[in-house]
Chains A and B, each alone.
Chain A
């Protein structure tokens, strides 16, 4: 064998492919555009909204031939070195890492060559941006050259054509950028599949040993008999290389915020113990305290429930969970990713004194019709996505519960009593995208301007009806509730040169009804809002963003209630009397608007982002103003290490219904406020392993608490304010996040470690109101303390999440959690305190929050199995909560005489199974 050296290269990932077969031994220039690319967001575009699109892939313009390792050459060894190349915004190679070292000097030779490559800059949304690609450098040895045929022979050579389409097995996605060739001869003709997965290959007639190489897919081999001057049309179904992983996203959006944690759809669906619920996955991130039981409450950096805003593509989601604590109204199939900001977020965000959760929705597929159907113990749903025409795609999802049909089987039946419980819920999401034509390049559009957009609608409906009656029941009981909402939003993104504009109008409709015996409430709400974010890159060192965030809502309520005690008259302890029926019609409109501006100023390795948000709320006759200055500083210490800090003020308007007249509302409420600060460091240990350590300190003030104080009314009488701004809180802590992503489709392991050390205080600034306190200072004992440890305080919060691809369609995941027990106030019984009129006992207690429940620890495990068929995939999972059945204490309650404490255990071992089919 003559030592003809053949070194060939191929970009395999979802990025680059060499266009022509390697007649030479070096990589080729002029690589064609890629099917898809790792997204990278340009500065100034809103995060987690429209997924960034690679409008221009990088092309290899300056290849460098690697030196064949002499020892390997002498031994006749060949190899393929798989590399991750980070291409800087200017097209130079910023970093190269081998994903799986092969040894024998091949790795070093490939690295040395690739470091000298030069690419044309990739563009994301029309802006040059850094990207990462996977690249395979092949070292092969050619057979000795045969005698070259004469020119006449070449011209007379007969031809056959193989044409067809490459389809991902199990999902029907089109596989673009794959190479198709006959045999293993490096000189053989080669074809590259286009965006629709189509290819055409011209080869000599005869048997073709087809080889298809595509990133993320197993090598596909088959044999085709090709006849002279005939075209053979085929469909090849390629098997994904590792389970159902199809998208490999390695490029990160630059972080403006001090902390932004992103959860992919895959993570949202497969994190054990979350039932595939995207909102509950957030609870596994640093800074979030564990909520009791399996409720999905977001308790972020010491804040209380309701103080973290959850939005879907920038529009607030009115309710997070079906039936109070059930599945979240966000269908996991519809999300693209979740961004979680525990604090220190940008000026364009407001209306929260805790954190922000931004649910980014999924753009419909551009290649062909896809979908999935999912069934579990509570509900069933579907997801569909398809291109309508070039540039327009649609995605839709819907879900409906069926527990109302299953519950009667489990409800107790006895003569003389009937019990009917009918819970129902459904939700839907619909998104239509337009303007992003496949393969469109910003350069070819008129004037370089580019518009994309989409219209999205989402909503949900929850109904619960409980009827209990019969002579043997304690009482006839009837409860009927419904909570319904719809939201429609538009999104128009316009880019021209260094200007980016994102305009997001939205409208909403809410309806809720509640019937409980003679008490009825029917509420209707209309919402109209818009957000405009304008970004202008004035220079490479200065980018300015400004905009407005306006919202108007009108709420009206038709109410019929028996006169409620303590609102209409002074309650006497004990049996509540039945009040005369009150009938009221209440209507109130409220406007909340904000103007904001912020700028990124780069000075050397520093990036300063000063910003300010001015808020105005007008509700009835009340007008509130709040100014929120904020500052972020980032210091890029090294290529891999960044120091970051933030401080600023944040405001959250009281909900509109709280402004209704006394005694049911308080028109004098003002903005809830918080001061947030943080300081941290982010270090990328390897390309797939990242460490983030952040300390934080927050103070909340003017927060809403209930009830307020009892005051004299103008014109006579007294009133207990139902709400007041007396709430205060403070939290400090340290968050650590270590995250390991999958390096490639072959990398089987991913996961993260999340640890939070925190101390959070909560309460109210004023004295305890007569009649006790509700939330915010509701301390449940007889002390006068109104400020102390938050009921949700957890000193240590540790979460380990891991998932491992076992192969053959199996994937195993686990989540382990340990948290410090929540504070309790211990009983200190020495005598009975009996309230005769109430027929209840008061307790005698030790110091407030001077004890804690035992620490919480739990292991959740999830096992997924997928079966890939030619055109669809069947998946099944079992998600087991609390695998080793730990008896964790959720609450402590006392016996009726307040003599002894009883621990209320949490959820025992709870397996949940589900089935999902997708195509």
Chain B
């Protein structure tokens, strides 16, 4: 315990000091090419049985809609080249190991949402082996966290290159009560307690800060069951996180929600503050929600802001 306390004290001191540093580049301030989120529909695939049956394999090989949110505010509409792989090792962030990767899609697109129909569960690698099997072999947890297949999107815009890794989860009912994940969806947003609807840009003026909240999501957060490491059933409840992004100024906090290890959940309330000295302009906002088990979606809102 003493050693842990010793390390803890160093960590606390370091965290305190880091809090005093204000890096120029912030996650919520979108000024160049970014991948803000990736979503798969469905967020996970679950076979009806854990036996290796044709039905089970078919269920896991179902089509999945892959969506990536690509933003490039200063790109001037340039083209973005992309390649999407599936591979076996989650630690291989770029799917660099060619022997263990399968090409799912490639092409050119523009800023916005990239949508692809893929079949990762049917992907095969060397010697015509199911990639799913390779993923399972490489998994130190022996599938107790599901079969987590890395989907790596390589997106290149000009001289900017991003590898975005998303884990696609394949399940079977290891313990009683398991069911497939449902996609988290933000029911709505509010600015200074007024609804912020999609479509017409909101008129905002002044230096702010503007309080941005999401409608209550607690009823949408699923209670679910996973297999424990001792092979028992463990019941969990989602605690969604929302990351906030904008083309002008920044949000504080930049990420809301989630839960700490004491189960204390954050509230989805943040403040947007326009950049100092900025002129009137159209501003785009993104709110990307993650449910902590692979599900994700986003909302896009626009506003006309004047000082």
Contacts and interface: CB of A to CB of B under 8 A. Distances in A.
Interface of A: 291-293, 295, 297, 304-307, 318-319, 321, 324-325, 471-478, 516-519, 561-564, 567-580, 655, 657, 663, 704, 710, 712-713, 716-719, 770, 774-775, 782, 830-837, 839, 842, 890-891, 893, 895-897, 899-900, 902, 904-906
B112 interface: no
Contacts of A580: 234-236
A575 B23 contact: no
Given A572-B292, A575-B241, A578-B259, A712 B6 contact: no
A561 B10 CA distance: 25
A279 B78 CA distance: 62
The 5 A-B pairs of least Cβ separation, nearest first, read: A517-B262, A570-B145, A306-B3, A575-B292, A324-B9
B93 A782 contact: yes
Interface in B256-302: 256-267, 269, 288, 290-294, 296
A318 B164 CA distance: 46
A836 B166 CA distance: 5
Contacts of B14: 292, 890-891, 904
Contacts of B13: 292-293, 295, 325
Given A575-B241, A893-B18, A836 B165 contact: yes
Interface in B161-216: 161-167, 169
B114 to A, nearest CB: 13
B162 A834 contact: yes
Contacts of B227: 569
Contact of B165 (A578, A831, A835, A905): A835
B219 interface: no
Given A657-B1, A836-B164, A577 B292 contact: yes
Given A570-B144, A718-B229, A775 B167 contact: no
B229 A572 contact: no
Contact of A305 (B7, B290, B292): B7
B25 interface: yes
Contact of B25 (A890, A896, A906): A896
Contact of A836 (B3, B141, B226, B296): B296
B23 A902 contact: yes
B269 A293 contact: no
A897 B25 contact: yes
A893 B18 CA distance: 8
Given A475-B264, A572-B293, A897-B25, A836 B37 contact: yes
Interface of B: 1-3, 5-10, 12-14, 17-18, 20-21, 23-27, 35, 37-38, 91, 93-94, 140-142, 144-146, 148, 160-167, 169, 224, 226-231, 234-241, 243, 253, 255-267, 269, 288, 290-294, 296
Contacts of A655: 1-3
Contacts of B2: 306, 318-319, 655
B21 A519 contact: no
Nearest to A830: B161
A582 B291 CA distance: 22
Given A295-B9, A305-B10, A569 B3 contact: no
Given A519-B262, A580-B236, 5 more contacts: A292-B10, A516-B262, A719-B230, A834-B163, A836-B38
A837 B294 contact: yes
27 contacts: A292-B14, A306-B3, A324-B8, A325-B13, A474-B269, A478-B264, A516-B261, A519-B261, A568-B230, A569-B229, A569-B236, A575-B240, A577-B259, A578-B259, A655-B1, A716-B230, A717-B144, A782-B91, A831-B161, A832-B161, A834-B163, A836-B38, A836-B164, A837-B167, A839-B27, A895-B23, A895-B25
A766 B253 CA distance: 40
A669 to B, nearest CB: 13
Contacts of A476: 264
Contacts of B264: 475-478, 516-518
Contacts of B259: 575-578
Prevailing SS type, chain A contact patch: loop
Contact of B266 (A474, A571, A572, A835): A474
B115 to A, nearest CB: 15
A134 B128 CA distance: 93
B17 A576 contact: no
Nearest to A479: B262
A573 B90 CA distance: 11
B220 to A, nearest CB: 14
A291 to B, nearest CB: 8
A518 B294 CA distance: 25
A560 to B, nearest CB: 10
Nearest to B257: A575
Contacts of A835: 93, 165
A839 B255 CA distance: 10
Contact of B228 (A569, A712, A905): A569
A906 B18 CA distance: 10
Contacts of B257: 575
Most buried by A among B144, B288, B290: B290
Contacts of B256: 474
A518 B263 contact: yes
A237 to B, nearest CB: 46
A579 B162 contact: no
B255 A572 contact: no
B119 to A, nearest CB: 20
A837 B2 CA distance: 34
Contacts of B269: 471-472, 474
Contacts of A891: 14, 17-18
B9 A718 contact: no
B163 A832 contact: yes
A562 B17 contact: no
Contacts of A569: 144-145, 226-229, 234, 236
A567 B229 contact: yes
Contacts of A575: 238-241, 257-259, 290-292
Contact of B229 (A475, A477, A719): A719
A575 B10 CA distance: 25
Given A292-B10, A904-B17, A562 B141 contact: no
Given A324-B5, A475-B265, A519-B261, A576 B239 contact: yes
Contacts of A770: 140
B4 to A, nearest CB: 8
Contacts of B162: 831-832, 834
A291 B18 CA distance: 17
A570 B293 CA distance: 11
Given A325-B9, A717-B144, A833-B94, A775 B229 contact: no
Contacts of A564: 261
Contacts of A567: 229
Contacts of A893: 18, 21
B239 A578 contact: yes
Most buried by B among A471, A578, A891: A578
A319 B3 CA distance: 10
Contact of A833 (B9, B163, B229): B163
A696 B227 CA distance: 51
A825 to B, nearest CB: 16
Contacts of B292: 572, 574-577
A713 B12 contact: no
Most buried by A among B224, B229, B253: B229
A782 B96 CA distance: 14
Given A305-B6, A574-B290, A837-B294, A562 B241 contact: no
Contacts of A518: 262-264
Contacts of A833: 93-94, 163, 165
Nearest to A570: B145
A325 B12 contact: yes
B251 to A, nearest CB: 12
A368 B92 CA distance: 74
A842 B162 CA distance: 11
Contacts of A297: 6, 9-10
Contacts of A295: 9-10, 13
